């Protein structure tokens, strides 16, 4: 299970690196003056494309944090134990969502 977490974290790192590159390209395009709004650098220059990259980066970063936290729980032996009720999290749930830190009941309606 820990190996699976490591592998996923690796994939996330690659995804983040790719998004950082996309972001750098978008920023360079803006700096080139190809952006049509020089008067408001913080405002409308945030193109839809850039916002999308930014949203994906945020999602990837938070997923990475979850995986990091899961690996910490693996290390201290609490991985697979629900943080709320202390009962084991079903294996099927961990397979679907390795970073899960709560059982389905305690996670409630949240996406977690």
Compose the 42-81 pattern: x for residues touching Zn ion by CB under 5 A, - for all others.
Answer: ----------------------------------------
The number of C-alpha atoms within 13 Å of 69 and in the hemisphere containing its C-beta is 14
**103: contact with Zn ion by CB under 5 A:** yes
The number of C-alpha atoms within 13 Å of 45 and in the hemisphere containing its C-beta is 17
**84: contact with Zn ion by CB under 5 A:** yes
Question: Residue 4 CB, nearest distance to Zn ion (Å)?
Answer: 21
Identify the CA nearest to 72 among candidates 44, 99, 112, 37.
99
**4: contact with Zn ion by CB under 5 A:** no
């Amino acid at each position: 299970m820990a190996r699976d977490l490591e592998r996923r974290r690796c994939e996330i790192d690659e995804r983040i690196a790719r998004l950082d590159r996309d972001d750098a390209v978008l920023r360079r395009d803006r700096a080139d003056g190809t952006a049509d709004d020089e008067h408001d650098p913080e405002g409308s220059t945030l193109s839809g494309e850039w916002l999308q990259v930014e949203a994906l980066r945020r999602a990837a970063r938070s997923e990475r944090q979850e995986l990091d936290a899961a690996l910490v729980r693996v290390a201290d032996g609490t991985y697979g134990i629900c943080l709320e009720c202390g009962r084991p999290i079903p294996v099927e749930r961990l397979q679907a969502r390795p970073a899960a830190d709560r059982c389905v009941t305690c996670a409630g309606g949240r996406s977690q």
